[in-house]
Amino acid sequence: MTVRKPEDLRSHRWFGVDTMRGFGHRSRMMEMGFAREEFVGKPVIAIVNTWSDTNTCHSHMRQRAEEVKRGVIAAGGFPVELPAMSVGEQMTKPTSMMYRNFLAMETEELLRSQPVDGCVLMGGCDKTTPGLLMGAISMNLPAIYVPAGAMLRGHWRGETLGSGTDAFRYWAERRAGNLTEDQWQELEEGIARSPGTCMTMGTASTMMSLAETLGMTLPGASSIPAVDSTHAMMAMRSGRRIVEMVWENLRPSDILTEAAFQNAIVVDMALSGSTNAIIHLVAMAGRAGLKLDLERFDAISQRTPVLANLKPAGKYLMEDFYYAGGLRALLARISDLLKLGCITVNGRSLAENIEGAEVYNDDVILPRNRPLSPTGGTAVLRGNLAPDGAIIKPTAAEPHLLKHRGPAVVFEDVDDMYARIDDDDLEVTADSVLVLKNAGPKGAPGMPEWGQLPIPKKLLRQGVRDMVRISDCRMSGTSFGACVLHVAPEAAVGGPLALVETGDMIELDVDARRLHLDVDDAELERRRAGWQPRPAPYGRGYGMLYVDHVTQADQGCDFDFLHAGPPTSEPKIY
């Protein structure tokens, strides 16, 4: 390991040089009351913080940034906090996914344009983990991730509630007329009890766990509940460690190897992680110059048991997972499936980081001979309806629907769906296949989480709680149901989904990985000849940039101009 000198620091170009600009940089730091010896010749650490008043999951991260600063200073560094778009899942419209790439660009350019030597990335709510990491990968300064951690368990009338999963479940009961207004309000007050991310194994918990698996957090960091005192300690220790990483010049490119991504896919499957993880891992790997095709996810899924008994696929919540030993314990339990030589941010290998990890509750982290499912949590489908792939989470669906043939009930877009789904005259039965078009990366745009299409009210009243649903959008990682998602190419670019008509027969066979539209080729050609693209949703601004450059789901929905390429030059400082 080479240890760098103060003159090797990137910030030296701003603060260490005897030039007119150097004078300006130093004197303006002094304007803020910082003495020369506090920042000159020291690693300057950017704390990229996605705290905001509208990011409900990051409300503790102002305080955590202070704890990171404590660690940075204790290790001889100089912390600077750089706020970045917080992309809270709940409030950001039309969908947070549209702003993941925005955050990635902002992170990369913040790091590039400022006098910083390394960074602590603070995120957790769904898109913030991939957004921050994508930007940091492209900039490739030493980087460590501080995951926000999950909130405490929800409670209602003696029952434990999980974010998203139980809200969706009880919303169906309310729509079916089985819950009073008072009960619904009690649920609203009891389901989100503390700062932190959704505490099911949704997208946030999945991505934080995968960031740790990839080696970008301190060991064990991703499983700590947001409000636990050890979470504050983890933040402080991350601050200490990033200073050492700068001196060691340990960068994301040293950590995020092909083997590290392979490990992340294995763990995603063992967790029965969010379907969104596939898109984010593909995008993150793309920034690192690596290609992950969907077949690799499927192959790993087929040989990886689901051991995390967590909602929505299982029974427990993230707080239980932490007390059961957390991610380190799960990694130890599947260590034979992992590439243990991968280096992580603490400079040690994955093998060293999981040494001694134990499972304390075999019902939360299941034994290998008693998995929740013998194969992984996500299946990749192909067929004439999804030539570039589609995915489904079989562990979260009613098993009888995993092989199904039924007539399509087609909605042209989300407005059409909400206008008609609860109409008692809608011709739909439990055997129908609900199809939503124009909800993909370009079509919606932003590929929102509309993929768990609501069950029509009249079927809810008959007791139906799951149906086959197909769309080119995503669904929340906390959702459940026989939902075929990420159909590529999407309808808005003329993918076969655009050609489906109500009454067409559709076949889903998850075991055979097949999604088939039972309409002959000549008829499909006839429909294709009459297909017209819809008007562009934006005429200016970021929305237009997004629609013009976002890639399809199987390519990670990154912007085509942000994939790995020749290094971007450092800014000139004159």
Assigned token pair, 71? 């660690």
Q: Residue from 34, 90, 230, 340 that binds ligand FES (CB under 6 A)?
A: 90
The piece of 196-204, 381-389, 460-468, 542-550 that touches ligand FES (CB under 6 A) is 196-204
Q: Residue from 204, 332, 434, 459 that binds ligand FES (CB under 6 A)?
A: 204
Q: Is 72 in the site for ligand FES (CB under 6 A)?
A: no
From residue 485 to residue 524, what is the string marking binding to ligand FES with x (rule CB under 6 A)?
A: ----------------------------------------
Nearest CB to ligand FES, comparing residues 79 and 314: 314
Q: Is 57 in the site for ligand FES (CB under 6 A)?
A: yes
- How large is the angle between the packed helices 128-139 and 276-287, nearest 10 degrees? 10
The piece of 198-206, 217-225, 320-328, 560-568 that touches ligand FES (CB under 6 A) is 198-206
Q: Residue from 44, 116, 144, 198 that binds ligand FES (CB under 6 A)?
A: 198
Rounded to whole angstroms, the Cα distance separating 331 from 377 reads: 16
Q: Could you tell me the smallest distance in angstroms from the CB atom of residue 316 to ligand FES?
A: 17
Rounded to whole angstroms, the Cα distance separating 490 from 473 reads: 8
Q: How far is CA 572 from CA 13, 63, 367, in A?
A: 10, 35, 56
Q: Residue from 11, 49, 86, 89 that binds ligand FES (CB under 6 A)?
A: 89
Nearest CB to ligand FES, comparing residues 79 and 202: 202
Residue type, 359: V
Rounded to whole angstroms, the Cα distance separating 80 from 34 reads: 12
User: Which pairing describes strands 505-509 and 514-517: parallel, antiparallel, or unpaired?
Assistant: antiparallel
User: Which pairing describes strands 468-471 and 433-436: parallel, antiparallel, or unpaired?
Assistant: parallel
User: Closest Cα partner for 277 from 475, 57, 101, 121?
Assistant: 475
Site for ligand FES in 124-183 (CB under 6 A): 125-126, 163
Nearest CB to ligand FES, comparing residues 163 and 209: 163
Q: Is 197 in the site for ligand FES (CB under 6 A)?
A: yes
Nearest CB to ligand FES, comparing residues 125 and 243: 125
Helix (H, G, I), strand (E, B) or coil at 107: helix
**How many DSSP H helices and E strands does the chain contain?**
21, 14
Q: Is 245 in the site for ligand FES (CB under 6 A)?
A: no
Strands ordered across the beta sheet of 483-484: 386-392, 379-383, 514-517, 505-509, 403-411, 433-436, 468-471, 483-484
Q: Which residues contact 206 (CB under 8 A, 6 or more apart)?
A: 268, 271, 273, 274, 276, 277, 477
Nearest CB to ligand FES, comparing residues 163 and 552: 163
Residues 409, 410, 411: CA angle, nearest 5 degrees:
130
The piece of 3-11, 98-106, 194-202, 279-287 that touches ligand FES (CB under 6 A) is 194-202
Under a CB-based contact definition with an 8 Å cutoff, are residues 571 and 14 in contact?
no
From residue 266 to residue 285, what is the string marking binding to ligand FES with x (rule CB under 6 A)?
A: --------------------
Nearest CB to ligand FES, comparing residues 163 and 262: 163
* Per-position DSSP letters for 489-547, written without gaps between them: S-GGGT-GGGG--TT-EEEEETTTTEEEE-S-HHHHHHHHHH--PPPPS-SSHHHHHHH
For the chain, what is the largest distance between any 2 Cα atoms, rounded to a whole number of angstroms?
78
Q: Could you tell me the smallest distance in angstroms from the CB atom of residue 477 to ligand FES?
A: 8
Site size for ligand FES (CB under 6 A): 10
From residue 394 to residue 413, what is the string marking binding to ligand FES with x (rule CB under 6 A)?
A: --------------------
The piece of 195-203, 283-291, 404-412, 533-541 that touches ligand FES (CB under 6 A) is 195-203
Q: Where are the alpha helices (DSSP H) in 159-293?
A: 165-175, 181-190, 203-214, 229-248, 252-255, 258-271, 276-287
Q: Is 201 in the site for ligand FES (CB under 6 A)?
A: no
The piece of 197-205, 246-254, 342-350, 430-438 that touches ligand FES (CB under 6 A) is 197-205
Nearest CB to ligand FES, comparing residues 15 and 480: 480
What is the binding site for ligand FES (CB under 6 A)?
A: 57, 89-90, 125-126, 163, 197-198, 202, 204
